[in-house]
Structure 1
Amino acid sequence: MEHPEPDARNLERSLGEYVRAVAAAVGVPDESTTVEISDTATAYLGLPQRWIDRPDHDVMLVWNERRGWSLAVETDPAEDPVVIAHHDGGDLVPDPRAVAQFVTDTAAGRHTGRKRPGPVAATTRGALAERLSPYVHHPR
Structure 2
Amino acid sequence: MEHPESDTRTLERGLAQYVRAVASAVGVPVESTTVEISDTATAYLGLPRRWLDRPDHDVMLVWSERRGWSLAVETEPTAAPEVIAHHGGEDLVPTPAVVARFVADAAAGQHLGPANPVAVTTATRTSLTRQLRPYLGSEPESPA
CA shift at 1:119, angstroms?
1.5
- Find the counterpart in structure 1 of residue 53 from structure 2: 53
Q: CA RMSD in A?
A: 1.5
TM-score (norm 1): 0.91
- Find the counterpart in structure 1 of residue 33 from structure 2: 33
Q: Secondary structure at 2:39's aligned position in 1?
A: coil
Q: Greater strand share, 1 or 2?
A: 1
Distance 2:37 2:82 in 1: 23
Distance 1:56 1:115 in 2: 20
- Find the counterpart in structure 2 of residue 132 from structure 1: 132
CA shift at 1:13, angstroms?
0.7
TM-score (norm 2): 0.89
Name structure 1 gaps, 5 residues minimum. none
Count residues with an aligned counterpart: 137
CA shift at 1:115, angstroms?
3.7
Q: Secondary structure at 1:48's aligned position in 2?
A: coil
CA shift at 1:121, angstroms?
2.5
Letter of the structure 1 residue corresponding to residue 130 of structure 2: E
Distance 2:121 2:114 in 1: 19
Is the aligned partner of 1:87 residue 2:87?
A: yes
CA shift at 1:41, angstroms?
0.3
Identical columns (%):
66
CA shift at 1:90, angstroms?
1.2
CA shift at 1:7, angstroms?
3.0
Distance 1:112 1:97 in 2: 15
| Residues 36-45 or 50-59, more deviating | 50-59
- Find the counterpart in structure 2 of residue 114 from structure 1: 114
Distance 2:95 2:55 in 1: 29
Letter of the structure 1 residue corresponding to residue 123 of structure 2: T
Letter of the structure 1 residue corresponding to residue 117 of structure 2: P
Name structure 2 gaps, 5 residues minimum. none
